[in-house]
Structure 1
Amino acid sequence: MTRAMSWSEWARHDATALAERVRAGEITAAELAAQTRDAVVALNPTLDAVVEIFDDVVADPTRDGMDPTGVFAGVPYLMKDLGPTLKGRLQEMGSLLMQGNRAAADSHLTDKIRKAGLNIIGRSTTPEFGVCSSAENTICVTRNPWNTDYTTCGSSAGSAAMVAAGATPISHGTDGGGSIRIPAGVNGLVGLKPSRGVFSIAPGGSDLSSVVSSQGCLTRSVRDTAAFVDACRGGAPGEFMPYWTADEPYVDLVRRDPGKLRIAMSHQWGPYSASPEIVAELERAGRFLEDLGHHVEWALPAIDFAAAYQAQTTCYITNFAQTIALLLEPRGLTKPPEDKVEPMNVRLWAAGIDATYSERTRMQLAFNTASRGFGAFFETFDLILTPTMAKPTPPIGTREYLTVSDNPSVHDWFANLWAIFAYTPLSNLCGIPGLSMPFGRLPGGLPMGIQLQTRQGGDGLLLQVAAQVERALGGQWNGGAMPTHHVTGL
């Protein structure tokens, strides 16, 4: 089969570089789509990361309204099977309950993505309703392209696997507690959870009604993430909150280094701390930033971490209970059918469906207290540096983190999640940005993320620092290594 470029040449291009070649007339958007489709067809039997390819959009990239003059000029893009909807397309949310569900309209962000020139060519895998840490159920078992014995984590599982494997340089993710940053970390990618009030989730939700969840993307380069934020940010008519703006485009900001920054570093967050091999990589990242001219010291926000995690657990239980209830109602159901909804999600619904306003009020007060604590901390420090995860990547089948778990306690199940994903959820609680960069490596060779967090609206600073690190590494994230399952092996 004749392709527009060899796989080795393809792998050297990020989304920005592919778009430049389209604008130069060297390649077409249809050729890009066909090459990504070929990669998915070859890799998906092993990785199980893509639910569906839209063959009609591969054949005609402008069919659904993609703007070929947008910054990404037709670069292929996978949409996580959760979050923004695509009119007339299936959205099944990783659940047997939702099989055959079709969206009635595009989301506001869908329109932004298409206007940015991204060609949405298919759906990527996610765990049921995006609740758990890995896409492993009766519908899919999404595997890590670096070592298929291990998970991609989640919930942006399929997007992370396919971007890491080189099928496409950019794809969609959502992050309600780390679901962009965690799979970015374990798959060797750049993953930004933006500030609350950057990307819209209209019309089905808002930053008021869905306070912890953010939209975003997974990429292999900082400039691609910067370009995505520039093109897709902004609220829809009727949004409750003002939306953050930037003094200059992030694609321009990331071209120059920041001044000397005061960076805190920590791995001890309340009751949770990182395993020794992860602490060693965190310390190496701290030294690296010092060598770039920044001041780095051990420091921690003065907040009640236990109360914050408890509030985050309340938020998850009550939010997901209502999400499930709203999916049941149009199907004429009053409770989740146990043959179509996974056991932990059934328990989660039962635990949260009758929650009181008083419980939510206490949760919101804890959110406020934690947010003020982080806000005060960032008056002294510019950034805080942590691992992305506290423990190594779990092997496939580690049931304690899955919604197929037989743990009878929803609260104990969430406590297990916080023990491994300690460093990501509080930025969702506070609405601050967090970015996982693929700086670390685990002893067995799997990638390991290092996370930067900063004050609300400081997304550009995170991207600027990550770009400085990327340049200092000669553009070689992951030491230049490639996953075992990658397009260059096709």
Structure 2
Amino acid sequence: MTLAMSWDEWAATDAVGLAGLIRQGKLSAAEAAAQAAAGIARMNPTLNGVVEVFDDVVADPLKDGMNPAGPLGGVPYLMKDLGPTLKGRLQEMGSKLMVGNRAAADSFLAGKIRNAGLNVIGRSTTPEFGCCSSAENPAMYVTRNPWNLEYTTNGSSAGTAAMVGAGVLPISHATDGGGSIRIPAGATGSIGLKPSRGVFSIAPYASDLTGLVSIQGCHTRTVRDTAAFVDACRGGAPGEFMPYWQPAEPYTRLIQRDPGRLRIALSHEWGEYRAIPHFVAELERAGRLLESLGHHVEWALPKVDFRAAFAAQTTCYISNFAQTVNNLVTSLGLDSPPADLVEPINIRIWQEGMKTSFTERAKMQAVFNSTSRAFGEFFEEWDIILTPITALPTPRLGTTEYLTISDNPDIYDWFANLWRQFSYTPLENLAGIPAVSLPMGMQESGVPLGIQAIAGQAQDGLLLQLAAQIERALDGRWNDGRKAGVHVTAG
């Protein structure tokens, strides 16, 4: 098979660049899809990040309604096997329970994605129901980190992280209920923005209070791709229960200007959680770069009751996931999740979460409110909080304590273990504020370390402005200019 571009050219071209080539007639959407499919065929046997390629859409990019005139017209894209549904396509959610499940219709965001011109050519891997930190159940698949195959990509946007990190395609879908965009982007050297609440719709499902912590997004290699995706895909469906806001100007234009001098708070001591010394040193290194760009940087921390906030987050996770599992089980005519088809921790979450009372949810929501107010008050004095993306190193594959195949009998202990590792990402979901993982650090294992920038509600554009300023200062050389060891350009 003759490809339209060399792998070096392909991996050096971002989504905006590919769309430009297609608009100019230098590349066709079919050629771009074929190249991405060839990249998947080349990398997936090692990385296991793609569940299915839609061969019919690779052959005919217009088959499922992609808009070739969209700003990202013809750019190949993978949909995480969770969240937005695609009419007639399988959505199996990383679960044996859902094998063979087909969607009856496109979700609202799927329609936005197609209208943006993104060509959805397949499904990327996720842990069961997106509930844990790694797509790592040997009965389903084990997704590997392209930077070091002995390590996980983290999750739950695991397959997207592996494929973008390996240069297979420049942009791919991700979701985030507590860090699932940012954490895997951080461990695979990509850019992962969790937008503010009120940016991306999850209609027609979960458009109510239960869906407030979870949000959609993507992984990219350039800031302009993230900006283009948000500009093209944001907005609410008819009948949304909350406002969907619009920025004063498109982010693709905003990021061309540097932000003013920002007040940036370095932080890693969140209640009882602490980052390891190497991560603190990488955070300080990022802080020095930001100082060199003219920003004010010092250590500071919001006055958040972290213990109460993480307890509320745990209640939210347990009760929300229990209802997700229950809805799926009920739709299949079952009374409970079968032990041979649903992973043990998800069964325990269902068992515990079905007991959650309205009173417990009301207490949880009160803590959500007080936590959001504390962050809001902090952002009256500060523009940005900078943290490592995680407190502890990315786990090796086979570290089952973080997985939903764990045999831990205590679901609260299982979640407490997650928070010790993933300390800096869940509370942004709770508060509905934006945060982005930027590929600025490196772990001692050779796996990337994302540096997370957090901003106040609706300050997504400010985060992207800062990210673009950093990208220019680095001359586009994220990850110190290195590539993953397993990469489409290698061999």
- Could you say which TM-score interval applies, normalised by the shorter chain? over 0.9
For 1:263, what is the secondary structure of its paired residue?
A: strand
Q: Over residues 32-59 of structure 1, what are the superposed CA-to-partner deviations in whole Å (9 max), with x where a residue is unaligned?
A: 0000000101111100000000000000
Q: Is the 8 A contact 2:210 2:320 kept in 1?
A: no
Paired AA for residue 465 in structure 1: L
State the 1:332 CA deviation: 1.3
Check conservation: 1:347, 1:410, Cα contact below 8 A: yes
Contact 1:307 1:366 in 2 (8 A): yes
Counterpart AA for 1:477 = W
SS in 2 for 1:93: coil
Could you tell me which residue of structure 2 aligns to residue 11 of structure 1?
11
Aligned to 1:432: 433
Compute the displacement of 1:443 (Å): 2.1
Match of 2:106 in 1: 106
Aligned to 2:259: 258
State the alpha-carbon separation in 2 of the partners of residues 405 and 9 from structure 1: 42
Distance 2:316 2:15 in 1: 35
Deviation at 1:392, TM superposition (A): 0.9
Secondary structure of the corresponding residue to residue 203 of structure 1: coil
How does 1:210-359 map onto structure 2 within 5 Å? 210-359=211-360
- Aligned-partner Cα distance in 1 for 2:433–2:197: 7
Distance in 1, Cα, partners of 2:438 & 2:44: 25
**Match of 1:162?**
163
Q: Which amino acid aligns with 2:408?
A: N
Is the 8 Å Cα contact of residues 74 and 117 (structure 1) preserved in structure 2?
yes
Q: How does 1:8-87 map to 2 (within 5 A)?
A: 8-87=8-87
Mapped to 2, the partners of 1:401 and 1:216 lie a distance apart of 23
CA contact (8 A) 1:197 1:207 kept: no
Q: Deviations over 1:110-149 (max 9, x none)?
A: 0000000000000000000000000001111000001110
Q: CA RMSD in A?
A: 0.7
Code of the residue aligned with 2:401 in structure 1: it is E
Partner Cα separation in structure 2 for residue 23 and residue 391 of structure 1: 44
List per-residue Cα deviations over 1:173-229 (Å, max 9, x = no partner). 000000000000000000000001100000012153311000000000000000000
Aligned to 1:147: 148
Distance (Å, rounded) in 2 between the aligned partners of 1:54 and 1:242: 35
Distance 1:378 1:330 in 2: 44
Residue 126 (structure 2) aligns with: 126
User: In structure 2, how many angstroms separate the alpha carbons of the residues matched to 1:397 and 1:197?
Assistant: 37
Deviations 1:361-390 (CA, angstroms, capped at 9, x unpaired): 000000000000000000000110011111
Q: Aligned-pair distance for 1:22?
A: 0.6
Deviation at residue 487 of structure 1 after TM alignment: 0.6
Kept in 2: contact 1:196–1:207 (CA 8 A): no
Q: Is the 8 A contact 1:201 1:207 kept in 2?
A: no
Q: 2:440 and 2:170 mapped to 1: Cα distance?
A: 18
C-alpha offsets along residues 421-450 of structure 1, whole Å, 9 cap, x if unaligned?
000000000000010000001123211000
Task: Give distance in 1, aligned partners of 2:255 and 2:411.
Answer: 42
Q: What residue in structure 1 maps to residue 416 of structure 2?
A: 415
Conserved 8 A contact 1:198-1:234 = yes
Q: Partner of 2:94 in structure 1? A: 94
Matched, 1:476 2:477: yes
Identity of aligned residues (%): 67
Instruction: Give unmatched runs, 5+ long, in structure 2.
Output: none
Partner of 2:443: 442
What TM-score do the two structures reach when normalised by structure 1?
0.99
Deviations 1:239-286 (A, max 9, x none): 011112111100011111000001111000011010010000000011
Aligned equivalents of 1:207, 1:155: Cα separation in 2: 22
- Deviation readout 1:400-440 (Å, 9 max, x if unpaired): 10000011111000000000100000000000001000000
Code of the residue aligned with 1:222 in structure 2: it is V
TM superposition outliers: structure 1 runs of 4+ over 3 Å: none
Residue type at the aligned position of 1:64: D
Kept after mapping to 2: 8 A contact 1:78/1:122: yes
Q: Is the 8 A contact 1:145 1:187 kept in 2?
A: yes
Cross-structure match for 2:385: 384
Q: Distance in 2 between matches of 1:484 and 1:297?
A: 35
| Structure 1: segments with no counterpart, 5+ residues | none
* Helix, strand or coil at the partner of 1:488: coil
* 1-structure distance, mates of 2:18, 2:211: 34
SS of residue paired to 2:466:
helix
- CA distance, structure 2, for counterparts of residue 352 and residue 393 of structure 1: 28
Corresponding residue of 2:376:
375
TM-score norm. by structure 2 comes to 0.99
Deviations 1:430-487 (A, max 9, x none): 0000100000011232110000011110100001101110110000101111111111
What is the CA–CA distance in structure 1 between the aligned matches of 2:52 and 2:404, rounded to whole Å?
A: 23
1:370 counterpart letter in structure 2: T
